[in-house]
Amino acid sequence: MVLELKVPHEADLAALKPLIPVFFSYVLSFIYLGIYWSNHHHLLQAVRYVNGRVLWANLHLLFWLSLIPFVTGWLGENHLAPLPVALYGVVLLLAAIAYTILTTTLVAHHGKDSTLAIALGRDFKGKISLGIYTVAILISFVNSWAACLLYTLVAIIWLIPDRRIEKTLNS
């Protein structure tokens, strides 16, 4: 994703100003990928074994995450225009849905009384995130900055690592 940051030809701070939206979208996307990486790692710590459904659910998540560099670049290059902001949100929403499918598939595979099922509980953060993404996508056509703030809010919610799995495994 960092390759999308074009080096300015001028050597002053004013030359960096047009890169602010690109840099903002890069930082936000990097944070999102880090959040998914960390939570995926925690998720798989509670897994004993996988099957074909789990592997396909995992690939489904990887597909949506692989689109983040594209929508990040489009968002930044078009200075938070409504359609790129909306598509960015659609990719975030579909990645969140894919993560939910992965967790649901893992719980179904390991059982409702498994350590993983107990650790995940009701997944309030996951459900509220889906709602915020949906609202942000709709708002993006009216106020793209507000939509980006909502995407940032979801990232902030998840910046505090989800320790449910760690706590359950350690108890």
What residue spans define the domains of the chain? 26-170
pLDDT at 149 over 90: yes
pLDDT of res. 140? 97
pLDDT of res. 86? 98
Average pLDDT on 18-25 reads 84
pLDDT at 163 over 60: yes
In single-letter form, the type of residue at position 120 comes to L
Residue-wise pLDDT tens digits, 126-144:
999 999 999 999 999 999 9
Predicted structure pTM score: 0.88
Closest CA to 33 of 4, 69, 6: 69
Residue-wise pLDDT tens digits, 51-110:
999 999 999 999 999 999 999 989 888 888 999 999 999 999 999 999 999 999 999 998
Higher pLDDT, 20 or 163: 20
Exposure pattern of 69-105 as b/e (b: 16+ CB <10 Å)?
A: bebbbbbbebebeeebbbbbbbbbbbbbbbbbbbbeb
In single-letter form, the type of residue at position 88 comes to Y
